Chain A
Amino acid sequence: MTIASLLARKGVKVVTIQPEHQIRQALALLAEHNIGALVVVDPGARPIGILSERDVVRAAIGDERGVFDKPVSALMTRNLIVGVPQDDLTSVGYTMTEKRIRHLPVVEQGRLVGIISIGDVVKAQRDQYQGEVDTLQFQLIADQEKPVARA
Chain B
Amino acid sequence: MTRPGSEGAPLRVAIVGAGPTGYYAADQLFRQPGLVAEVDMYDRVPTPYGLVRAGVAPDHQKIKSVTASFDKVAANPRFRFFGCVELGRHVTVEDLRKHYHMLLYTTGAQTDRRMGIPGEDLKNSHAATEFVAWYNGHPDYRQLTFDLSQERAAIVGVGNVAVDVARILSRTPAELEKTDIADYALEALRASRVREVYLLGRRGPAQAAFTNPEVKELGELADADVTAVPEEVELDDLSRAAMERASDRATQKKVDLLQEYARRAPSGKRRRLILRFLVSPVEILDNGAGAVGGMRLVRNKLYATDTGTLQPKPTGEFDDLPVGLVFRSVGYKGVPLAGVPFNDKWGVILNEKGRVLDPTSKQPVVGEYTAGWIKRGPTGVIGTNKPDAAETVACMMEDLAADRVLHPAEASREAVERLVRERQPRCFSYQDWLRLNELEVQRGKETGRPRVKFTTIEDMLAALGRR
Residues of B328-357 contacting chain A, CB below 8 A: 343, 345-348, 350-354, 357
Taken together as a complex, chains A and B put the C-alpha atoms of A135 and B384 apart, in Å, by 8
> A79-91 interface mask toward B, CB cutoff 8 Å, 1 = contact, 0 = none?
0011110111011
The answer to whether residues A135 and B383 also contact, given A8-B348, A86-B311, A150-B65 and a CB cut-off of 8 A, is yes
| Closest chain A CB from B451 CB (angstroms) | 5
**Contact partner of A81 among B307, B347, B377, CB < 8 A?**
B307
Q: Tell me if A21 is interfacial: C-beta within 8 Å of chain B.
A: no
Contact A87 B348 (CB under 8 A): no
**Contact partner of A95 among B53, B63, B307, B386, CB < 8 A?**
B307
Q: Which residue of A lies closest to B441 (CB)?
A: A149
Chain B residues near A131: list those with CB within 8 A. 380-387
Q: Tell me if B456 is interfacial: C-beta within 8 Å of chain A.
A: no
Contact A150 B68 (CB under 8 A): yes
- Chain B binder among A10-18, A35-43, A53-61, A63-71: A10-18
The answer to whether residues A2 and B62 also contact, given A12-B343, A88-B309, A92-B309 and a CB cut-off of 8 A, is no
Max chain A C-beta neighbours (<10 A), residue from B308, B354, B385: B308
Contact B306 A81 (CB under 8 A): yes
Contact A11 B67 (CB under 8 A): no
| Closest chain A CB from B330 CB (angstroms) | 12
Taken together as a complex, chains A and B put the C-alpha atoms of A83 and B305 apart, in Å, by 8
**Contact partner of A127 among B362, B382, B387, CB < 8 A?**
B387
Taken together as a complex, chains A and B put the C-alpha atoms of A110 and B424 apart, in Å, by 50
Contact B376 A9 (CB under 8 A): yes
Contact B65 A11 (CB under 8 A): no
Q: Tell me if A25 is interfacial: C-beta within 8 Å of chain B.
A: no
The answer to whether residues A113 and B345 also contact, given A12-B362, A131-B381 and a CB cut-off of 8 A, is yes
Contact A151 B384 (CB under 8 A): no
Residues of B393-445 contacting chain A, CB below 8 A: 437, 440-441, 444
Taken together as a complex, chains A and B put the C-alpha atoms of A151 and B18 apart, in Å, by 13
Chain A residues near B305: list those with CB within 8 A. 83-84, 87
| Closest chain A CB from B103 CB (angstroms) | 17
Q: Tell me if B327 is interfacial: C-beta within 8 Å of chain A.
A: no
Contact A8 B346 (CB under 8 A): yes
Q: Supply 12 A–B pairs (Cβ within 8 Å), ascending by A.
A: A2-B379, A5-B377, A7-B346, A11-B350, A12-B362, A13-B352, A91-B307, A92-B309, A94-B308, A135-B66, A142-B62, A147-B61
| Top 7 closest pairs, chain A to chain B, by CB | A131-B384, A134-B383, A142-B65, A149-B450, A131-B383, A135-B383, A11-B352
B residues lining the A interface (CB < 8 Å):
47, 49, 52-53, 61-69, 180, 207, 242, 245-246, 305-311, 343, 345-348, 350-354, 357, 362, 375-377, 379-388, 437, 440-441, 444, 450-451
